[in-house]
Amino acid sequence: MPSRPPVPPLPTPVEVGEAYAREAFRRLERDPRNPDALFALAVVLGVAGRRAEAIQTLTLLAEVAHFYPGLWRFKSRMYREVGDERMAALCAEAATRFAEKDGTPSPGTVRAAARRAPVRPVRRPSAPRGGAES
């Protein structure tokens, strides 16, 4: 029986997060309104424990595409994790208000709305605590 080629080592969670952040910034440099890049960046920041920066990024996303799938639920979670139950509840309410009848808006709808939104530059977050830079 032929032997299988060795499986390459899987990237660490930190490497995956850094790769997502780099790709998000690359896309935002080309299009500061890119809702997918803004959401991906917010998720990376939130998972890394940088919830205030995640909330700021989600606020930018809300200005670009306020009905982006998952935006308000994730923003609610971030506020809950920083202990702001009032804002968490408001975001949860917005999640319900902006959801379309069939669940979520189509990606084409989100991109079209994002192209019409005003541009606000995205600042690269400071290096994560611990010294590594993404």
- DSSP 8-state assignment for residue 34: -
pLDDT tens digits, residue range 22-45? 999 999 999 999 999 999 999 999
pLDDT tens digits, residue range 71-125? 999 999 999 999 999 999 999 999 988 875 445 554 555 555 555 655 565 666 6
Q: Tokens 């808006």 — which residue?
A: 105
In this structure, what token pair is assigned to residue 21? 């952040």
For the cut 70, the answer to whether the pLDDT of residue 133 exceeds it is: no
DSSP 99-123: --TTSS--HHHHHHHHHHSPP-PPP
C-alpha distances in Å from residue 19, one per residue of 24, 47, 82, 96: 9, 14, 26, 32
Domains of the chain from N-terminus onward: 13-114 (1.25.40.10)
Instruction: Give the number of C-alpha atoms closer than 13 A to the C-alpha of residue 29, restricted to the C-beta side.
Output: 7
Q: What is the pTM of this model?
A: 0.69
Q: Tokens 């940088």 — which residue?
A: 50
Instruction: List for the chain the helix, strand, coil content (%; round to 5).
Output: 60, 0, 40
pLDDT band at 134 (very low <50, low <70, confident <90, very high): very low
